[in-house]
Chains A and B, each alone.
Chain A
Amino acid sequence: MQIIIAFIAGLLMSIGIAVSMMIDPAKVLGFLNLSGNWDPSLALVMAAALAVYSVGFRLVRGRSAPLMAEKFQLPSASKIDKPILIGAAVFGLGWGLVGYCPGPAISALSAGNTGTIGFVIAMIAGWYIARKLPLAKVAPKKSTDCYS
């Protein structure tokens, strides 16, 4: 059952990525590039997603446990430390270069374009390298972090 729910969650998110056209890196660059013909659409994508999630999260957190698991697994890290500052900056550089963040890049894979496939392979290589070369002194247990 967990597997079916996770599948539907991924499906809903990539439907959203596709419908909002965030799947199109040109659309995302239209938002990030302030020097040209600016397109504010991405701000509304974020606003709508945040409106749903922030309200829903408050309701959900009122429960003692999630519907299909023993407990909520929220990030334990709360410190604004070097890895998050450097990591976010490096991610932003890559995002601005092409207009892909991980969700849209993975969602676009089914189109079978070599550029998308190359991007995702390079991204996976980046994940691998970062696991071998963590910025924190103690390699963080990934499962406790924000993106578990």
Chain B
Amino acid sequence: MENFTPLSALIGGTFIGLGALLLMAALGRIAGISGIASQAIFQKQDRSWRLAFVAGLLLGPLLVALVISDFSFSTPELGPRTLIAGLLVGLGTAWGSGCTSGHGVCGIGRFSPRSITATLIFMAAGVLVASLF
């Protein structure tokens, strides 16, 4: 467990919770990133706030890089594995109406049985694939 980073995990998680809470408190909306981003692209209605949310997402890490000088992260290689993964994540989050943020944070946070079930399933599938392949 030498990779365990409890402090940055707790601070980061707090930011994620605060961002999601702000969207609910001010706009009355669930902060599901898959839904907001896909509807920003494919749905004309209520597009402007969704585009603004995605713009915020894009900018956050640049801001972090300004504050934390040695901030860097790995990225996947472009190849069949990455493209298949992206396709599955797109299909799955659209069919399943949400991802880690929508179900895992907002859904569980308001004790939705549907979101708790979804989170258990995608966690289990993720663990299975990551552990075996």
Contact = CB atoms under 8 A, between A and B. Distances in A.
Interface in A118-146: 118-131, 134-135, 140, 142-143, 145-146
Contact of A142 (B35, B65, B79, B119): B35
Contacts of B91: 87, 90-91, 94, 126-127, 129-130
A80 B113 contact: yes
B58 A106 contact: yes
A95 B26 contact: no
B88 A17 contact: no
Interface string A17-61: 111111111110110111101111110111111111110110011
Contact of B103 (A6, A60, A88): A88
Interface size class of A (residues with CB under 8 A): 35 or more
A89 B32 CA distance: 17
A105 B38 CA distance: 13
Given A2-B27, A15-B63, A94-B89, A50 B108 contact: yes
B65 to A, nearest CB: 8
Interface of A: 2-27, 29-30, 32-35, 37-42, 44-54, 56-57, 60-61, 65-75, 77-80, 83-103, 105-111, 113-131, 134-135, 140, 142-143, 145-148
Q: Please give me the 4 A-B residue pairs with the lowest Cβ-Cβ distance, nearest first.
A: A126-B90, A87-B96, A147-B35, A20-B12
23 contacts: A5-B49, A10-B52, A30-B3, A37-B1, A41-B6, A48-B14, A49-B17, A56-B17, A56-B21, A66-B26, A72-B28, A87-B94, A90-B96, A92-B124, A92-B128, A95-B100, A98-B82, A110-B62, A127-B94, A128-B90, A142-B35, A142-B38, A146-B112
